[in-house]
Amino acid sequence: MGFLADALSRVKPSATIAMTQKARELKASGVDVISLSVGEPDFDTPDHIKEAAIDAIRRGETKYPPVSGINPLREAIVKKFKRENGLDYKVSQTIVGTGGKHVIYNALLATLNPGDEVVIPRPYWVSYPEMVILCGGTPVFAETDMAHDFKLQPEELERVITGKTKWIILNSPSNPSGAAYTRDEMKKITDVLMRHPQVWVLTDDMYEHLTYGDFEFVTPAQVEPGLYERTLTMNGVSKAYAMTGWRIGYAAGPEQLIKAMDFVQGQQTSGASSISQWAAVAALDGTQEHLARFKAAFQERRDLVVSMLNQTNGLKCPVPEGAFYVYPSCAELIGKTTETGKTIGSDQDFVTELLQAEGVAAVHGSAFGLGPNLRISYATSNKTLEEACRRIQRFCGSLR
């Protein structure tokens, strides 16, 4: 009988963390590495948010916080959902966790029983299926394709729902593809869900504020009020406020579910960092003027990367509506040979050889459930992105 839990043998390590760590190790050994593998804004946390945290420290806000979050933050969350999404929640319908991943995990842990299925569209954020498995559920994958910009089609959703389906996880804008659903596209998805009252919706809106052009963000319960009583709307301050290290995620949903998540969290981590929570109050309640600057920079970077990748031999890169990732296909390069004689047999081979040959770290698409693609984060400077894309062009051009 083994010492470690059997569940660990069914769970894969995070490919994004693994590739980022590999890039760090190469860099530390003196290799000139450009890492495009991490999902983290390169901007600093806005000053007014940092000042709010410093003020909280000076006021002595350093004791254990309530499990579900400090009241000022939960009130700020209520105001945010009303102001930005037209959703009405009470404070008792909100919860704060140590990052968005923590909130999702607790929702699944509080609701899944063996045999319960969770629908996850491919490509997906690497942690979704692994969290489902750790919580005793079964991930069921819904297919998407580049022809539909990696967006779930209603017919495919209808096909994968069964009597065992308990949740669907939606992520718009998406990590890894950057795809985001228009109101009409989201309505077609919610229309299917209205026909299946046993299915709950867990929507990951972490990239809500990072959409480009005149794209209008929508969230499922906003588009279809009939789903309000079975939707958990998750968000956080990591991406839009450049607060990845502060570790604050939050959600709102039916009170019964929030109470169950509070129960789990109370025996697991208790409340999130008190100082980070006060910083998050300033993020949600304070000025939002930095968002326009972030969005303008990210849109310029997106356009630069999409243009250069589409000029690269063997790559095809769609234009994403949001987040800070592109998800190009490298299908035309599978079967080619590198200058050192290695065959590119998969997208994992592609990113491995790219890192070795040119020092550019990206993540293979099969880690997100859909290949042969790669995920490239453009959350870094234009100069760095230009150099990275030149290296990618050189590598692709060298394949025979």
Average pLDDT score, the chain: 96
Whole-angstrom distance, CA of residue 85 vs CA of residue 89? 11
Q: What token pair was written down for 73?
A: 């933050």
- Residue 15 is predicted with a pLDDT of 77
Phi, psi of 99, rounded to the nearest 5 degrees:
95, 160
Sheet arrangement for strand 165-171: 94-97, 249-252, 231-236, 200-204, 165-171, 117-121, 138-142
Whole-angstrom distance, CA of residue 54 vs CA of residue 310? 45
Sign of CA dihedral 263, 264, 267, 269: negative
Whole-angstrom distance, CA of residue 381 vs CA of residue 347? 25
- Residue whose C-alpha is closest to residue 117's, from 157, 152, 162, 171: 162
Q: Map out the domains of the chain with their CATH numbers.
A: 6-44+290-398 (3.90.1150.10), 47-285 (3.40.640.10)
Burial label for 43, CB within 10 Å (0-12, 13-18, 19+), is middle
Q: 260-303, pLDDT tens digit by residue?
A: 999 999 999 999 999 999 999 999 999 999 999 999 999 999 99
- Residue 398 is predicted with a pLDDT of 98
pLDDT at 46 over 90: yes
Whole-angstrom distance, CA of residue 187 vs CA of residue 245? 34
- Residue 10 is predicted with a pLDDT of 84
CA distances from 176 to 218, 270, 271, 318, 398 (A): 19, 30, 29, 12, 27
User: β-strands 374-377, 249-252: how paired?
Assistant: unpaired
CA distances from 364 to 6, 51, 120, 231, 350 (A): 27, 39, 18, 31, 8
Task: Using DSSP, state whether 197 is helix, strand or coil.
Answer: coil
CB 7 within 8 A of CB 137: no
Q: 146-185, pLDDT tens digit by residue?
A: 999 999 999 999 999 999 999 999 999 999 999 999 999 9
Q: 187-232, pLDDT tens digit by residue?
A: 999 999 999 999 999 999 999 999 999 999 999 999 999 999 999 9
- Residue 166 is predicted with a pLDDT of 98
DSSP 43: S
User: Could you please report the per-residue DSSP string of 121-143?
Assistant: ESS--THHHHHHHHTT-EEEEEP
Could you tell me the pLDDT band of residue 12, with boundaries at 50, 70 and 90? confident
Q: 234-267, pLDDT tens digit by residue?
A: 999 999 999 999 999 999 999 999 999 999 999 9
- Residue 13 is predicted with a pLDDT of 78
Sign of CA dihedral 101, 105, 108, 113: positive
* Tokens 């790219």, residue located: 354
- Residue 150 is predicted with a pLDDT of 98
pTM summary value: 0.95
Whole-angstrom distance, CA of residue 16 vs CA of residue 21? 9
